[in-house]
Amino acid sequence: MTLRWLSLSPLMLAMAGPALAAECPSLLQGELPKLRAKENIDLCQRFAGKPMLVVNTASFCGFAPQFKSLEALNQRFKGQGLEVVGVPSNDFKQESRDGEETAKVCYVNYGVTFTMTEPQIVKGPDATHLFKVLAEQSSAPRWNFYKYVIDRQGKVIANFSSLTTPDDPELIAAVEKAIASKP
């Protein structure tokens, strides 16, 4: 009996792989390179079933001090499963071309501990897949520090302009709604 179970186990794993991939929402298909790391983030593996706040960032934007309140939001809600993801972009001409400089701004200047990616294109036809789907579900970012709250099913439930700070009551309410959503 044990031998039969072991012989079925690889078959069961092979059959489960496509089923798990099929359950991954479109939003989370693909990978993004992690900031200052030699690894990619498999978005589905890392974030499927989790509430998220995705923000396109820029190191030299006047809204960059929001990194501090994004980190506070991350600390406040990470124990409830929230994943904050920062995606630097030079689409609005305010991000360094040097990932090391971007990392210094995020990690050293603002103490960011949430997930950050290498700079990506976030608007237009060349946008990374994540931002193409965010735009389809809501709207493309209009400036740096545009924020998307995503529920556990991978659907945008709210988006906020750069002017909305991470401690805004409406954004907090949307994050709490995403946390309360069913996977």
Domain regions of the chain by residue span: 26-180
Q: Is the dihedral of CA 175, 80, 117, 61 positive or negative?
A: positive
C-beta of residue 51 within 8 angstroms of C-beta of residue 88:
no
**pLDDT tens digits, one per residue of 37-83:** 989 999 999 999 999 999 999 999 999 999 999 999 999 999 999 99
Residue 8: pLDDT over 70: no
Residue 110: pLDDT over 50: yes
Residue 121, pLDDT > 70, answer yes
**Catalytic machinery residues:** 61
| Angle at the Cα of 150 from the Cα atoms of 26 and 111, rounded to 5 degrees | 115
Taking the C-alpha atoms of 92, 158, 112 and 32 in order, what is their torsion angle to the nearest 10 degrees? -70
* DSSP SS3 for 108: helix
What is the per-residue burial (b if ≥16 Cβ within 10 Å, else e) of 152-178?
A: bbbbbbbbbebebbbeeeebeebbeeb
Residue 7 has pLDDT above 80, yes or no: no
pLDDT at 10 > cutoff 60: no
Provide the CATH topology of domain 26-180: Glutaredoxin (3.40.30)
pLDDT-derived band of residue 99, with 50, 70 and 90 as boundaries?
Answer: confident
**What percent of the chain has a predicted confidence (pLDDT) above 70?**
88
Q: Decide if pLDDT at 106 tops 60.
A: yes
Assess whether pLDDT exceeds 80 at residue 13.
Answer: no
* Angular region, 12: left φ>0, alpha ψ -120 to 50, beta rest: alpha
Flag whether pLDDT at 14 surpasses 70.
Answer: no
Q: Average pLDDT for residues 94-102, to the nearest whole number?
A: 91
Q: What is the pLDDT of residue 23?
A: 85
Q: What is the pLDDT of residue 22?
A: 52
Pick the closest to residue 13 from 1, 23, 5 (CA basis).
5
Say how many C-beta atoms besides its own lie within 10 A of residue 43's C-beta: 23
Cβ neighbours of residue 133 closer than 8 Å, sequence gap 6 or more: 26, 27
pLDDT in tens, 139-183: 999 999 999 999 999 999 999 999 999 999 999 999 999 999 998
Residues in the chain: 183
